[in-house]
Chains A and B, each alone.
Chain A
């Protein structure tokens, strides 16, 4: 069962039970909705962008442990980053959870706890939902993001 523990690490379960930045953001100037039709996960991501830097990020919604923890970790890890840095982080993160590409140049920091997802291909979409939603928010995309 060690591989199940790789997926459900304590940090992930902790972020699932007590998601960080789990609220709406009154002064957000970027916002997007994400939806995973496969499992019904929904989230709304709020971003406050100031001079090209992500000053604050929060989220609301309901989802599985992986998608909730991923969204929670996302909000923590992108604060203070420029849009470009957030995009680089997204790409590195995606490479790690899909098991594609080479070892990322960017240090994933605590996002690394989600690396176990690569052994569970059907759960990759759970881990990347928040990130696709972030991209849509930064692009001021109106249509909700769907993982399908």
Chain B
């Protein structure tokens, strides 16, 4: 019986290897060399590479479809508008939102969070109100709230993490109180890989009437997001980490919340009527989309979602989890290596330090082997402070990475240690 299971696993693994080899063919950039070595791209948490279908889609837009959206009466403008709004529907279905009116296009996750802070928060919060975040947030889910606190007198509260990089739910629960006006949490930590139990946090917050913003920048490429099942109030993610273009992101917000919020930026497209005496605003979602949007990027994002859905997030997650398990096992073989972030529920991120060796040396030496990783504080300085390190080295995986690439990473780290005489 056991051997049968192993045989099935071996067959599955072989199939997966075959699939990954095929997926790699979709990414033109992976064919290049760096310092004479084949590129091994392990900086996917910063930004992922783009499949040819996304690149071609943006090209095709400019070659055949380029016109401004929503206003033109001519055919080209109509076609561009159709493609743009079809992308909105694609995003709605991708995260299972109830209505396309709840999908606002932004420049990225950062802008989406700032939009909520400045539009939702600034018009409502006052001294004594509390905004709750966690210790593992990216700076983009800390600083917008700090700015808001300065503007309104509200107070930022921080739920701590433990030494495995897991959110202390007991502490978070104690911090949720009737003064809590908003909870902002990462779905997946970019520095640690920890997957947060967002559903439970949302229930806790809703019990005191606080809405929840989920920063999904690291989650959207790795796990199926269902905003209806989560019952989150806001969800944000970026196109460029999801195999899509840079400069396009998404803010999902519940209709009633978005509808009651004042505009974030003023300009064209977000108005219904302008006079010098009074201006009335456009309906959702256009109220929040001032100016000509990133049309090519939006349509490119739809192509990226098509790409991801054709493979399937389940298949992607299975492959990435296998890689992360394998990489974690291989990393454990190395003495002097410490993993930063050892939560049981993790996605795609291997963050580590080497004893006596600064992460930047790791980055420089691996780069000479064609291996791209991230070294630094990963825009999560409070996480670095928690672990008492100035920086970590971070390898992050995407659907096109392989076990061979993990082996190359480990070999590279061995070379770093050898060079430093360890």
- Which A residues lie at the B interface, using CB under 8 A? 1, 3-4, 7-8, 13, 38-42, 62-66, 120, 122-123, 126
Contact = CB atoms under 8 A, between A and B. Distances in A.
What's the dominant secondary structure at chain B's contact region? mixed
A100 B365 CA distance: 24
Contacts of B368: 1, 3-4
A39 B390 contact: yes
Centre residue among B360, B377, B391 by max chain A CB count within 10 A: B360
Nearest to A40: B390
B358 A39 contact: yes
A126 B333 CA distance: 31
Interface in B383-409: 384, 390-391
B376 interface: yes
A8 B420 CA distance: 9
B420 to A, nearest CB: 7
Given A1-B368, A4-B368, A38-B376, A65 B390 contact: no
A38 B363 CA distance: 13
Contact of A39 (B357, B359, B421): B359
Nearest to B359: A39
B375 interface: yes
B361 A39 contact: no
Contacts of B390: 39-42, 62-63
A40 B391 contact: yes
Contact of B391 (A7, A39, A65): A39
A66 B377 CA distance: 18
Interface in B23-67: none
A144 to B, nearest CB: 15
Contacts of B265: none
A40 B361 contact: no
A42 B375 CA distance: 16
Given A39-B390, A40-B376, A4 B358 contact: no
B73 interface: no
Contacts of B377: 40
A8 B359 contact: no
A126 B361 CA distance: 11
B360 A64 contact: yes
Nearest to A68: B358
B364 A120 contact: yes
Task: Identify the interface centre among A3, A38, A40, A126: most chain B CB within 10 Å of its CB.
Answer: A40
A17 to B, nearest CB: 8
Contact of B360 (A3, A39, A62): A39
A62 B384 CA distance: 14
A117 B11 CA distance: 49
Most buried by A among B357, B364, B365, B419: B364
B354 to A, nearest CB: 12
A41 B360 CA distance: 10
A111 B359 CA distance: 23
B361 A13 contact: no
A39 B364 contact: no
A64 B420 CA distance: 12
Given A1-B368, A39-B359, A65-B361, 13 more contacts: A3-B368, A8-B419, A8-B420, A13-B421, A38-B376, A39-B390, A40-B376, A40-B377, A40-B390, A41-B358, A62-B390, A65-B420, A120-B364
A47 to B, nearest CB: 24
B360 A126 contact: yes
Given A39-B375, A41-B390, A42-B390, A4 B360 contact: no
